[in-house]
Amino acid sequence: MNTSLSATATDQSNTATVNGHPVDPAVERRRSRPVLWWAAFGSFWLAFMAFVLVRWITGPYFQRVPVGPSDPPLYMKVFLMTLQVTMIPAMAALVWWFAVRPWRRERTITLDGALTLAYCTLFFQDPLSNYFGPWITYNSWSFNRGSWVTSVPGWLSFGAPGATVVEPPMTIIGLYVVIMTIAVRIGVATLRWASARWPRLGRVGLALICWVAMFAFDVVFEGVVFMPLGVWTYAGGHFSIFADRYHAFPLHEAFLVGILLTAYSFLRFFLDDRGRTIVERGSERVRASPAGHGVIRALSIIGAVNMIFLVVYTLPHLFVGAHSRTWNDDIQKRSYFLDGICGAGTGRACPGPAVPLVRNDNSGGGGGSAYVGSDGTLRVPAGTVLPSQVPLDTGTG
């Protein structure tokens, strides 16, 4: 379906009408508010992304996190390099096919084009669940300039120039677009099949069937394929299969990703008679040019896709970052998975139930809270002054 995001035919007069009858402009504005709210959030999110990324690129954290003394095996290097060479071109091809090509041909942005553009923004949220404490790390052998995490306002996890959670841009930006495109198409096909197989099945039943398919997809994609090849780790995750290996895969990851992909599949599958998603409805009542309508609806899709990711994936996993399990030995012995944030040679103990959370000052010049060293002793960063103990008042009053 080539669902157009261009404006549908609308009344261009000053007074809106429905079936030839005038409609109160105030009522029209109320009916158009949902799409405007989503578009406003989409605009805000893009502005927030730009603020954080510019702050990162122009700040002290924009430098490579080194691999360290451990050398990844050849199969990891081959796979990591393959991803870095192919993911950006694959993303560009998908953007061309779903967004640019329809625009050049019809001067419209299709629904799939808007979704593809929205997927291009998801990389930004990838490391944000490390906000309170790190539990996800990437292989620092990949090309990197650290990541933007310490440029997020209020970021608490430890980070220093050259020692912070890594995000490999040549891999992760395009990988989100490719995987989301594939997964949502599988999800939509599952919903279409289930609807045809059981016509009376309600949306709850459809959601459960789709979730099972998406759960299985993520276990295979992440747990079986990508993680053994050394792209990333869920070092602090819980309820893991392969729990003692570097590719330990927490089942709560697949549980939440299953919900995430089901939500995206629902967004794409359930359209109204105009071919619009639920977040675009009311756009025909917005007074704007055809191009303006397209922009508003595209922004609403971007807003919805990021809000779903934030609520379903990022926020629940903040709890995991704050309650990390003890990182297993197979991860801690591989410096390329530690990103310089903990372990041997860093002076910092890796997260776990016995290690308190720290507060980073994000200045790039040291400071922050005291922390547990890799030898189990309390360490105080240079420039940090611990508070003195205030004696209790033993008198009355």
Q: Is the pTM here over 0.85, yes or no? A: yes
- The verdict on residue 241 lying in a domain is yes
Residue whose C-alpha is closest to residue 358's, from 349, 344, 370 = 370
Q: What is the count of structural domains for the chain? A: 1
Which pLDDT tens digit goes with each residue over 88-112? 999 999 999 999 998 888 878 889 9
Q: Is 193 part of a structural domain of the chain?
A: yes
CA dist., res. 285 & res. 11, Å (int)? 9
Does some domain include residue 224? yes
User: 303-347: per-residue pLDDT in tens?
Assistant: 999 999 999 999 999 999 999 999 999 999 999 999 999 999 999
Query: Which residue segment(s) compose the domain that 72 sits in?
Result: 32-348
Reduced to 3 states (helix: H, G, I; strand: E, B; else coil), residue 293 is helix
Structure token digits, residue 239: 């309820």
Percent of the chain with pLDDT over 90: 71
Examine residue 358 and state whether it is found in any structural domain, yes or no.
Answer: no
Any domain includes 372: no
Residue 379 belongs to a domain: no
- DSSP 3-state of 379: strand
The span from the CA of 182 to the CA of 189, in Å, is: 11
Any domain includes 26: no
- Token pair 């930004």 is found at 124
The answer, yes or no, to whether residue 217 has pLDDT greater than 60, is yes
Strands 137-138 and 249-250 come out as unpaired
Q: How many CA atoms lie within 13 A of 307 on its CB side?
A: 16
pLDDT higher than 80, residue 183: yes
Compute the radius of gyration of the chain from its Cα atoms.
24
Residue 314 within a domain? yes
